[in-house]
Amino acid sequence: MNDDQAELRQAALFWLCETDAERKAAGVRQLAADWQAGTMQLDAKLNLIALKALPGLPAKPELVAPRLVKRRSMNTQAGRAILIHALVHIEFNAINLALDAIWRFAGMPLAYYTDWLQVADEEALHFSLLSGHLQTLGYAYGDFPGHSSLWEMTDKTRFDVLARMALVPRTMEARGLDAVPSLREKLLQAGDAAAAAILDIILRDEIGHVLTGNRWYAYLCEQRGLEPVATYAALALKYAAPVLRGPFNLPARRAAGFTESELIALTEQNLLRPG
């Protein structure tokens, strides 16, 4: 193990800088295993500086505006491949955001870093499962364009861990709780049972990831003496968070730690928005 990989937050930054997607995913899974084996240390007070562009990205996929990403028809194998590719790209970005949450924010409790390492490990598993399935369809990650809206919010919240917890896991990733069930059913109806089974794993784990975001958002609100619902609304406005539109997967959101007050605020605001 190299010196820059013997401390958890330095190792997270090392793998965040990695540009090869498959190597990044494998490295993150090994990082989690090394941490579990007790062969690594954590320095929560260490002030780290990124010396490379973040995140490390492969040459492909080409990154375009979300509106330019191809439509995801289920009628053909190529159409399903476009959808699976989009999901692979989301999971790749999710690995990066979990690694960024580890290295960037100093002074958090030990459990914060172990929580986000578990998230990174599971996102790497999701990436590998989907990437492998994409290959069975005759395509590879990078064959279609992708967009970077998930990382854009990660970057915008880089100066405040409270904003990061509010607007990345609890907003951007939580949208997956609403979207995955319908995508799963469409893939199953199209005869892709293997993809549907992978989405079952992803939904189960993503509930835990959003729960992690909720846990640390609540912790930080308490530490700073802030009311969570009003604070979220203010942060969403300040950072121009995307508008959340229903229908919402309320059972999954409850399991992910959203309070009834938060869910009421979410649904009421959605009803008040023009269609």
Q: What is the arithmetic mean of pLDDT over 185-193?
A: 94
Q: Look at residue 24 and tell me whether its pLDDT is greater than 90.
A: yes
- Taking CA atoms, 189 is separated from 84, 193, 226, in Å, by 15, 8, 46
Cβ atoms of 239 and 153 closer than 8 Å: yes
**Cis omega (within 30 of 0) for bond into 247:** yes
144-177 pLDDT tens trace: 999 878 889 999 999 999 999 999 999 999 999 9
Q: What is the mean pLDDT of the chain?
A: 92
Instruction: Scan for tokens 């492998």, then name that residue.
Output: 132
Per-residue pLDDT at 50: 87
Per-residue pLDDT at 274: 43
Q: What is the arithmetic mean of pLDDT over 47-70?
A: 85
Per-residue pLDDT at 9: 98
Q: Look at residue 3 and tell me whether its pLDDT is greater than 70.
A: no
Per-residue pLDDT at 2: 60
- Phi/psi at 7 (5° precision): -110, 135
Per-residue pLDDT at 110: 98
Instruction: Give residue 156's identity as a one-letter amino acid code.
Output: K
Q: Look at residue 270 and tell me whether its pLDDT is greater than 70.
A: no
Per-residue pLDDT at 64: 85
Q: Look at residue 275 and tell me whether its pLDDT is greater than 80.
A: no
The CA distance from 78 to 84, in Å, is: 10
Residue 225 region by backbone torsions, left for phi larger than 0, else alpha for psi between -120 and 50, else beta: left
The CA distance from 84 to 133, in Å, is: 8
Q: What is the arithmetic mean of pLDDT over 220-244?
A: 95
The CA distance from 48 to 10, in Å, is: 7
HEC secondary structure over 85-96: HHHHHHHHHHHH
Confidence of residue 141 (pLDDT cuts 50, 70, 90): very high
Q: Look at residue 116 and tell me whether its pLDDT is greater than 50.
A: yes
Cβ atoms of 141 and 92 closer than 8 Å: yes
Domain residue spans of the chain: 3-242
